[in-house]
Amino acid sequence: MNALKSFLPGVGWPAVPDEHGARVLALLWQFAQSERWPAEQILAHQLRQLSPVVAHARQHTRHYRERLVGADDRPLSTLSQLRALPILTRRDLQDGVESMSSDFIPPQYGKPVEKRSSGSTGQPVLVRSTGLDALIWQANALRDHHWHQRDLSLKLAAIRAFGAGAADPPDGSVARVWGAASAAVYATGPAALLSLNADSATQAAWLIRHQPGYLLTFPNILARLLDYLEQEKAALPWLRAVLCVGETVTPLLRQRCRAVLNVSIEDVYSSQELGYIALQCPVSGQYHVMAESVLVEVLDVAGNPCAPGETGRLVISSLHNYAMPLIRYELGDYATVGNACTCGRTLPVLERIAGRERNMLRLPGGKWRWPVVGVLPYSEVAPVRQFKIIQRSLEELEVNFVTDRDLTDGEEARLGAMIIESLGHPFRLNIACVREDFPRAPNGKFEEFVCAIP
């Protein structure tokens, strides 16, 4: 049971939160109910909430004033009305920060803030939002802690991207609390922070010094760390869970984490532009959409909604962004629609977040698929620490391995055969080995597979 923070001297129980904490708790209290409403009731509330955002966008942004000329201006009450609205692309956002931004924001929503989403694609996007969006972001962050019943009094260790000097290896830095969201409401334990520039040995030594209850990091960092810990036969017995952010978590990584550390991965799916989009369900492991803050559509190539089991592109509307309305925003990620969840929560379900279009393999004949790759099977054949595959054409792949020594012809042939088998097409492979780790994008993300066909 986590201890609520009281802001009145001499009053510890029951705790009396401050105004901000009270707002976060009031949202959480509502979430606990709305996450079990019938699906149609959730959708009706989403459409009702999105209506004033659309009206605001039409009145206060140049982009929507021009884009929605002649469009139906009645309040949204059906999905077909929503689907009649145009899709907003990443390119629209990149090209039109000013035309996308509102010329008026109700002052009660708090000061507008700017965030830059660097993404792994190298095409930055500037997004504006308000204190209202930050409030809802915080409530969803706490919802994640609640769902997974985390003990906030323990130490949190985070290995992620930090500015130079902020959490440099080997010691990193320490913070008094986990983060703004949890500290607004709870008395939390401390946090330890380390830049992801640290190598796996430094990360392991740092974790052993800090003994955190939770580790937060990127899936690719975790994969390397697990390899190191296994090789060194090191255990982290005080660890309760690994919280992943930023990249796609594969079933293989979940299995490895369980095998090496005996704890589960608890994943979130979020973006700078939209905040929390989905949280991993503590019961089924599928992802529940944060329906109180985003309306998520999963669409096939023809623009029709995907059925459970089908994979399509995500088109997402933010229900509260009055600073830069994001209506039917196609952020470039793909997901598989899930079946109703066994946990009793009725929030929409995504079975799997697949990743970005540029991480899809293109096959001759116009087909595409998600490449199933992972370093573990390769490392059983040769001393491969990391790899990156770049598709240069429909017939040719560039395969780069990070290894401690050159590969033998036999190893190279076996690795090549494994790649071709897992990708399901006889690509021509250009295999090369390097000693240095691959550089990461500025936000810390790393992509194992990139399709570079224009």
Query: Which residues sit at the interface with Zn ion, rule CB under 5 A?
Result: 281, 284, 341, 343, 345
Least gap, CB of 151 to Zn ion (angstroms): 21
- The nearer residue to Zn ion, 35 or 133, going by C-beta atoms, is 35
CA distances from 210 to 163, 164, 191, 204 (A): 21, 21, 9, 10
Q: Mapped to the 3 state alphabet, what secondary structure does 35-50 carry?
A: CCCCHHHHHHHHHHHH
Q: Least distance in Å: CB of 286 to Zn ion?
A: 6
Nearest CB to Zn ion, comparing residues 35 and 448: 35
Q: Tell me how far, at minimum, the Cβ of 283 lies from Zn ion, in Å.
A: 5
Q: Which residue has the tokens 């003994």?
A: 211
Strand partners, 129: 113
Rounded least distance, CB 279 to Zn ion, Å:
9
Contact 349, 401 (CB under 8 A): no
Contact present, 424 and 365 (Cβ < 8 Å): no
> Please, are residues 132 and 107 in contact by the beta-carbon 8 Å criterion?
no
DSSP designation for 359: G
Whichever of 3 and 343 has its CB closer to Zn ion, that residue is 343
Least distance between Zn ion and beta carbon 299 (Å)? 23
For Zn ion, which is the closer residue by CB, 281 or 389? 281
Least Å distance between CB 309 and Zn ion?
17
Nearer CB in complex with Zn ion: 36/440: 36
Closest CA to 309 of 284, 287, 337: 337
CA 38 – CA 152 distance, rounded (Å): 31
Q: In what helix (H) or strand (E) does residue 390 lie, and over which residues does it extend?
A: strand 384-391
Exposed, middle or buried by CB within 10 Å (0-12, 13-18, 19+), for 454?
exposed
Give the separation between CA 245 and CA 161, rounded to whole angstroms: 11
- CA 62 from chain centre, in angstroms, equals 30
Shortest Cβ 21–Zn ion spacing (Å) = 27
The amino acid at 95: D
CB of 19 to Zn ion, least distance (A): 32
Q: Which is nearer to Zn ion, 285 or 312 (CB)?
A: 285
**Least separation in angstroms between CB 339 and Zn ion:** 11
| In the block, residue with structure tokens 């380390």 | 194
Nearer to Zn ion, 328 or 345 (CB): 345
Q: How many CB atoms lie within 10 A of CB 370?
A: 16
CA–CA dist 443, 92 (Å, integer): 22
Q: Which is nearer to Zn ion, 294 or 361 (CB)?
A: 294
Please say which residue, 135 or 350, places its beta carbon nearer to Zn ion: 350
Q: How far apart are CA 342 and CA 286, in angstroms?
A: 10
Select 342 or 408, whichever has its Cβ closest to Zn ion: 342
Could you write out the DSSP letters of every residue in 106-143? -GGG---EEEEE-TTTS--EEEEE-HHHHHHHHHHHHH
Closest CB 143 distance from Zn ion, rounded Å: 13
Could you tell me which residues come within 8 angstroms of residue 331 by beta carbon, excluding any fewer than 6 positions away?
90, 271, 273, 274, 314, 316
- Token output for 233: 């036969």
